[in-house]
């Protein structure tokens, strides 16, 4: 029994592989947004899985902006071009802006179509087909009606009409009248006939002579052809340096230029002994040396159709000649050249030929010819890549390989009776030589000649970047059909044995096929011992005759591959079984090297070259890629000029396209659709779009009042109302009015601005985008236009009155047409603001409020200072403004509430003092403002001892005590201020003492005395006596009264009596007599 042992590592790998598969399935299953980036080769906006097969594109960056978020979620496309965002990243129901970026170099957005959006898409999760088609413009070819052009060789001198004897040649035998340039359908198969893919004649041999290289200027449908040395066929009228131009549309061919007139030495004409009769054999020995060494090798045209690149075989240089589009005759100033490097060939024997322009680079093919050493081991092929746009262009060697492998012989004829004459011996590439080879075939004197000498003649590229390499056999251009050898002997039938190889693109490194294997693709010639490593990828390059392989290498070195078709067309002789002395095309699959179809252009044709390289280069006559301009009109809800995920496109908007190089004439009309999208292209513009041409996209703004545009979309407005159309920064004189205006244009303050910004400027009554179309296939979908409408904002109250020191409980406003991101800011100012000054950050921010569902905003408990110490009501101005601030000043709507603060009242009050003299006092009260001025209007309320109350401002009271005064402000019923006035009492009488004295005998008088501190005295006595003295002097006896009055008016009195003497009057005789007296004191 067989036992199987699995290591832990093996088990882990199996588990990991299973886990990753399950994870991938889960991830895909849960994806809310997914799609694929694919190559839209035919630029129809639909991914095709038939011809062309449109493969996915790996490595494209995909960003998702969800709803209001400005921070994207990013991923990159997988190897098959798919991408996905999970339900966590892109929740169901959310609107999402998808951006595609990081295209491969030179790729552009394909056209908008049923299966492809643009590089910016707006979707709603879930969605599984957010796809994008991109393409390299030069990869485009129209989906139907494609023709292939190729030179068709004819024997003889194409510039004369006389035979070898000088006699006129009938037209049907004239080499000059023969067809030398043809085209045929890409899908052609079978043998050409009047009813089966008959070729189109593009030029006669007289017009162009022998040419090999072709270059097609797509936009003008002009085909360039370049001279080549071919034995037995003459040059055209321009000789070795001849370039010709054929108008595919009209079928006319003219001389373009003889390169020698530009100072480019292409060598001298080596031909001799050619006749105007295509049926007559010729010797023409000169080309045996000249072929591959003079005149023109490969040729191609730049992808912008303006520069021809070709190899001059004489000086082995690559030339670039600027010819412009449409082509004009170049001058020496239009010529550039670069020396092609020797790849290390023995004796310096390198021979360039192939020229291919591909994705901005030029590929040049060179072989080491071994023409000096004559050693097969010295044969080698080298491929250079060259970028002419670099400051100092260099030839970069990207592939080199020996040509010493066994190949199939061009012919398999073997005569067992004459084995030395076998054609099977020509089963390798051989060094270049001017010698005529030994014949092979049947019999003693066979007439077959072959000697395969390599020329790396052409390149084509597959969709995966792999390179197909075409080799022509130099000997095919040194021999003919039933023609002489260089010495004029015999009539020999030449064979050409070219080749077709494939080099796999391994992440930018080319790896030559080996034993029919190219990367992960297995060809049809594995193990056939006819290619590198013992097999060949394109193994069906053979011809069957009577069920046997008669020719093992029949290709002829010219290649055509149209992207997306997964096949390669190569020129060949005898491409169809049992059809001989023919030439045409073989078509192989690039997937497996199998034969797809075959086509014979001529067979057994008089004057043809039979099996000896009867056809030249091949070119697909592809149209230039179409261009589109346009993209999207959207409602810029937040007015920032940036396409946000949630902002909808506007359908139903009419836009016009104007030719600005033709007076601005209108040439197209589009109505926005599918979310505001519009596209001008060759379908919507009857005359088509021109390349590199100035246009204007215009939107008449008068159509906007007819629409009500919201986040829900655009609907017609009722007849009763409307919005004012976009008209720049202007505000209606009557007050707030909603209108539409253009978003700020050409924003650049964020990443990838061209993908997201608005481009329109207001010119008169139109929104205008100036645009210049680009080169073919370079679609410009950055021409976006956005409009928005201004919000309306109204305060619910014009004025809010508050008493000084009282808090404002709330301020409210209502509005319309708010953005989802809008808030309302309340800003207070000390003075009114004019215009949009309230947006100037000079006020005090009270708060920011988000509108509710009914578009109402309320700021509760704003921190407003309501102190008012003045004599008049003060005002503060609270403005409700939009935040963020609209960039357009006309949209800086505001509403104002005046906060009117009633002045604060204070009070003064005075009482009084009750005394012996003051029995009542008047209380005084006064309401005053904070600045001390009198408040004329107030209410007064007094309370005091004994239940006293009064509403008088100044009541009279007679009771001492504290009296409380409360004043009120009629404007602020709840605002009261109180103070206290005090009434005091003072009735204390003064202390009084009085004394007397005796009469002095000497004076006959007496002095009275009274004392009452702090009081005033008043004496009265006989005979009206009065005195206020403390010690009055009296002379008359009698009773004297002294009264003391205190400062509080209280009085006290006493009396003193002056009695007369018991004696005679002592003063009668003037004798002083001292007599005591008695004074009576009265209190």
Residues 891 and 797 placed together within one structural domain of the fold: yes
Q: What is the mean pLDDT of the chain?
A: 91
Residue of 570, 567, 569 lying closest to 591 (CA atoms)? 567
We report the CATH number of the domain holding residue 969 as 2.60.40.10
Mean pLDDT value of segment 179-189? 98
CA–CA separation, 790 and 801 (whole Å): 31
pLDDT greater at residue 382 or residue 930: 382
Q: Tokens 């100033």 belong to which residue?
A: 333
Q: Model confidence over 589-599: pLDDT tens digits?
A: 999 999 999 99
Q: Model confidence over 276-328: pLDDT tens digits?
A: 999 999 999 999 999 999 999 999 999 999 999 999 999 999 999 999 999 99
Residues 104 and 183 placed together within one structural domain of the fold: no
Q: Is residue 120 part of a domain?
A: yes
Residues 606 and 663 placed together within one structural domain of the fold: no
Residues 897 and 912 placed together within one structural domain of the fold: no
- The proportion of the chain whose per-residue pLDDT surpasses 70, expressed as a percent, equals 92
We report the CATH number of the domain holding residue 527 as 2.120.10.30
Residues 423 and 512 placed together within one structural domain of the fold: yes
CA–CA separation, 205 and 155 (whole Å): 10
Is 732's pLDDT higher than 80? no
Residues 893 and 745 placed together within one structural domain of the fold: no
Is 21's pLDDT higher than 80? no
Q: Model confidence over 606-654: pLDDT tens digits?
A: 999 999 999 999 999 999 999 999 999 999 998 888 899 999 999 999 9
- The three state secondary structure string of 408-477 is CCCCCCCCCCCHHHCHHHCCCCCCCCCCCCCCECCCCCCCEECCCCEEEEEEEECCCCCEEEEEEEHHHH
Q: What is the DSSP string of 79-137?
A: TTSEEEEETTTS-TT-EEEEEEE-PPTT-EE---BTTBB-SEEEEESSBS---EEEE-G
Residue of 73, 256, 20, 249 lying closest to 147 (CA atoms)? 249
pLDDT greater at residue 226 or residue 21: 226
Mean pLDDT value of segment 558-563? 98
Mean pLDDT value of segment 268-273? 98
Q: Model confidence over 996-1052: pLDDT tens digits?
A: 766 776 778 888 889 999 899 999 999 999 999 999 999 888 889 999 998 888 999
Q: Tokens 């910016």 belong to which residue?
A: 120
- Other Cβ atoms less than 10 A from the Cβ of 329: the count is 12
Q: Is residue 22 part of a domain?
A: no
Q: Model confidence over 967-999: pLDDT tens digits?
A: 998 888 878 899 999 999 988 989 888 887 667
Q: Model confidence over 883-906: pLDDT tens digits?
A: 999 888 888 999 999 999 999 899
CA–CA separation, 969 and 937 (whole Å): 7
Where helices occur in 282-418 by DSSP H, the ranges are 287-290
Is 816's pLDDT higher than 80? yes
**How many independent structural domains does the chain possess?**
6
Task: Give the pLDDT score at 741.
Answer: 84
Q: Is residue 289 part of a domain?
A: yes
Q: Is residue 518 part of a domain?
A: yes
Q: Is residue 611 part of a domain?
A: yes
Structural domain of residue 709, as residue ranges? 629-789
Residues 833 and 877 placed together within one structural domain of the fold: yes
Residue of 300, 294, 305, 303 lying closest to 319 (CA atoms)? 300
First to last CA, the chain: 158
Which two three-digit tokens encode residue 1021?
């006595």
Residues 714 and 669 placed together within one structural domain of the fold: yes
Task: Give the pLDDT score at 1083.
Answer: 39
Q: Model confidence over 412-439: pLDDT tens digits?
A: 999 999 999 999 999 999 999 999 999 9
Which two three-digit tokens encode residue 269?
């004409």
- Other Cβ atoms less than 10 A from the Cβ of 858: the count is 16
Task: Give the pLDDT score at 717.
Answer: 63
Is 718's pLDDT higher than 80? no
Q: Is residue 857 part of a domain?
A: yes
Q: Is residue 15 part of a domain?
A: no
Is 29's pLDDT higher than 80? no
Q: Is residue 1046 part of a domain?
A: yes
Report yes or no: 119 and 99 within 8 Å, Cβ to Cβ. yes
Domain boundary among 773, 789, 805: 789
Q: Please, which pLDDT band fits residue 7 given cuts at 50, 70 and 90?
A: very low
CA–CA separation, 133 and 43 (whole Å): 8
For residue 171, the SS3 value is: helix
Q: Please, which pLDDT band fits residue 1058 given cuts at 50, 70 and 90?
A: confident
Q: Facing residues of 896 across strands?
A: 879
Is 724's pLDDT higher than 50? no
Domain boundary among 762, 789, 816: 789
Domain boundary among 620, 648, 664: 620
Residues 872 and 736 placed together within one structural domain of the fold: no
Burial class (CB in 10 A: 0-12, 13-18, 19+), 435: exposed
Task: Give the pLDDT score at 1064.
Answer: 52
Residues 633 and 562 placed together within one structural domain of the fold: no
Residues 762 and 803 placed together within one structural domain of the fold: no
Task: Give the pLDDT score at 1062.
Answer: 53
Peptide bond connecting 1012 to the previous residue in cis, omega within 30 degrees of 0: no
CA–CA separation, 474 and 289 (whole Å): 11
User: In this structure, what DSSP letter does residue 56 have?
Assistant: B
CA–CA separation, 524 and 519 (whole Å): 14
Q: Please, which pLDDT band fits residue 51 given cuts at 50, 70 and 90?
A: confident
Q: Model confidence over 735-768: pLDDT tens digits?
A: 333 578 888 888 766 676 777 788 999 999 999 9
Residues 646 and 552 placed together within one structural domain of the fold: no
Report yes or no: 84 and 105 within 8 Å, Cβ to Cβ. no
Mean pLDDT value of segment 108-136? 96
pLDDT greater at residue 189 or residue 992: 189
Residue of 1020, 1012, 955, 950 lying closest to 983 (CA atoms)? 955
């Amino acid at each position: 029994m067989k036992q199987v042992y699995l290591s832990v590592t093996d088990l882990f790998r199996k588990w990991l592989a299973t886990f990753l598969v399950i994870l991938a399935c889960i991830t895909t299953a849960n994806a809310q947004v997914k799609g694929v980036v694919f190559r839209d080769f035919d630029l129809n906006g639909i991914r095709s899985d038939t011809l062309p097969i449109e493969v996915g594109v790996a490595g494209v960056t995909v960003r998702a902006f969800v709803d209001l978020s400005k921070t994207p979620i990013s991923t990159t496309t997988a190897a098959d071009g798919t991408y996905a965002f999970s339900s966590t990243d892109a929740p169901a129901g959310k609107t999402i802006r998808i951006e595609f970026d990081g295209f491969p170099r030179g790729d552009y957005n394909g056209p908008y179509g049923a299966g492809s959006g643009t590089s910016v898409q707006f979707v709603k999760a879930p969605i599984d087909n957010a796809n994008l088609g991109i393409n390299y413009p030069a990869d485009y070819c129209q989906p139907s009606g494609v023709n292939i052009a190729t030179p068709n060789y004819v024997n003889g001198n194409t510039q004369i009409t006389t035979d070898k004897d000088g006699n006129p040649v009938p037209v049907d035998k004239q080499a000059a009248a023969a067809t030398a340039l043809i085209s045929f359908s890409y899908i052609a198969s079978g043998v050409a006939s009047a009813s089966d893919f008959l070729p189109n004649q593009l030029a006669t041999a007289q017009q162009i002579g022998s040419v090999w290289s072709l270059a097609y200027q797509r936009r003008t449908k002009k085909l360039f052809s370049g001279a080549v040395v071919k034995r037995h066929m003459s040059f055209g009228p321009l000789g070795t340096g001849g370039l010709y131009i054929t108008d595919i549309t009209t079928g006319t061919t003219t001389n373009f230029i003889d390169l020698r007139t530009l100072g480019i030495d292409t060598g001298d004409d080596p031909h001799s002994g050619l006749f105007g009769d295509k049926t007559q054999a010729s010797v023409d020995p000169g080309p045996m040396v000249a072929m591959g060494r003079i005149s023109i090798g490969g040729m191609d045209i730049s992808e912008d159709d303006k520069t021809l690149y070709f190899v001059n075989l004489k000086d082995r240089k690559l030339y670039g000649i600027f010819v412009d589009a449409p082509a004009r005759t170049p001058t020496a100033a239009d010529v550039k050249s670069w020396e092609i490097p020797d790849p290390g060939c023995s004796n310096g024997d390198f021979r360039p030929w192939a020229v291919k322009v591909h994705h901005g680079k030029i590929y040049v093919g060179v072989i080491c010819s071994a023409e000096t050493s004559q050693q097969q081991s010295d044969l080698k092929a080298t491929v250079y890549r060259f970028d002419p746009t670099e400051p100092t262009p260099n030839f970069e060697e990207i592939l080199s390989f020996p040509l010493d492998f066994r190949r199939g012989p061009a012919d398999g004829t073997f005569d067992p009776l004459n084995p030395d004459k076998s054609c099977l011996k020509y089963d390798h590439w051989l060094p270049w030589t001017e010698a005529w080879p030994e014949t092979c075939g049947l019999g003693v004197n066979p007439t077959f000649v072959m000697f395969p000498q390599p020329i790396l003649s052409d390149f084509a590229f597959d969709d995966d970047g792999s390179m197909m390499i075409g080799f022509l056999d130099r000997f095919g251009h040194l021999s003919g059909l039933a023609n002489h050898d260089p010495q004029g002997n015999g009539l020999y039938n030449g064979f050409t044995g070219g080749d077709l190889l494939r080099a796999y693109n391994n992440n930018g490194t080319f790896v030559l096929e080996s034993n029919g294997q190219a990367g992960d693709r297995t060809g049809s010639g594995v193990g056939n011992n006819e290619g590198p490593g013992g097999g060949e990828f394109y193994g069906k390059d053979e011809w069957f005759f009577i069920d046997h392989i008669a020719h093992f290498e029949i290709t002829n070195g010219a290649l055509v591959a149209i992207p997306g078709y997964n096949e390669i067309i190569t020129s060949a002789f005898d491409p169809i079984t049992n059809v001989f002395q023919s030439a045409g095309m073989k078509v192989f699959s690039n997937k497996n090297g199998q034969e797809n179809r075959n086509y014979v252009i001529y067979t057994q044709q008089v004057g043809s070259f039979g099996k000896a390289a009867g056809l030249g280069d091949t070119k697909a006559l592809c149209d230039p890629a179409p261009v589109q301009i346009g993209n999207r009109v959207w409602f810029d809800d937040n007015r920032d000029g940036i396409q946000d995920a949630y902002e909808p496109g506007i359908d139903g908007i009419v836009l016009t396209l104007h030719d600005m190089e033709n007076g601005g004439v209108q040439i197209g009309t589009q109505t926005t659709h599918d979310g505001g999208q519009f596209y001008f292209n060759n379908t919507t513009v009857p005359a088509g779009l021109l390349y590199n041409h100035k246009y204007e996209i215009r939107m008449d703004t008068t159509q906007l009042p007819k629409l009500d545009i919201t986040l829900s979309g655009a609907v017609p407005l009722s007849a009763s109302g409307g919005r004012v159309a976009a008209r720049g920064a202007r505000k209606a004189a009557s007050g707030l009015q909603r209108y539409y205006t253009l978003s700020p244009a050409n924003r650049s303050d964020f990443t990838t601005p061209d993908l997201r910004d608005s481009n329109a400027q207001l010119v008169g009554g139109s929104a205008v985008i100036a645009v210049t179309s680009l080169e073919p296939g370079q679609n410009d979908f950055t021409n976006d236009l956005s409009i928005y409408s201004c919000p309306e904002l109204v305060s619910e109250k014009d004025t809010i009155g508050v008493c000084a020191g009282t808090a404002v409980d709330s301020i409210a406003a209502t509005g319309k047409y708010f953005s989802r991101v809008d808030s309302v800011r309340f800003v207070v100012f000390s003075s009114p603001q004019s215009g949009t000054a309230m947006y100037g950050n000079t006020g005090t921010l009270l708060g920011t409020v988000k509108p509710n569902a009914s578009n109402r905003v309320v700021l509760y408990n704003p921190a407003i200072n309501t102190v008012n110490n003045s004599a008049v009501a003060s005002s503060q101005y609270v403005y409700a403004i939009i935040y963020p601030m609209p960039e357009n000043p006309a949209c800086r709507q505001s509403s104002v509430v005046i906060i009117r603060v009633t002045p604060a009242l204070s009070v003064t009050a005075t009482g009084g003092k009750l005394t012996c003299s003051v029995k009542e006092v008047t209380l005084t009260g006064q309401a005053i403002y904070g600045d001390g001025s009198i408040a004329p209007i107030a209410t007064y309320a007094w309370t005091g001892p004994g239940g006293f109350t009064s509403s008088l401002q100044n009541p009279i009271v007679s009771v001492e005590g504290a009296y409380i005064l409360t004043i009120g402000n009629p404007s602020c019923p709840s605002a009261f201020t109180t103070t206290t006035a005090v009434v005091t009492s003072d009735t204390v009488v003064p202390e009084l003492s009085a004394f007397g004295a005796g009469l002095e005998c000497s004076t006959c008088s007496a002095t009275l005395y009274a004392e009452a501190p702090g009081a005033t005295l008043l004496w009265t006595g006989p005979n009206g006596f009065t005195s206020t003295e403390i010690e009055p002097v009296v002379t008359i006896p009698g009773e004297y009264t002294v009264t003391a009055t205190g400062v509080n008016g209280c009085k006290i009195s006493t009396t003193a009596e002056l009695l007369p003497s018991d004696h005679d009057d002592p003063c009668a005789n003037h004798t002083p007599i001292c007599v005591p007296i008695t004074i009576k004191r009265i209190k």
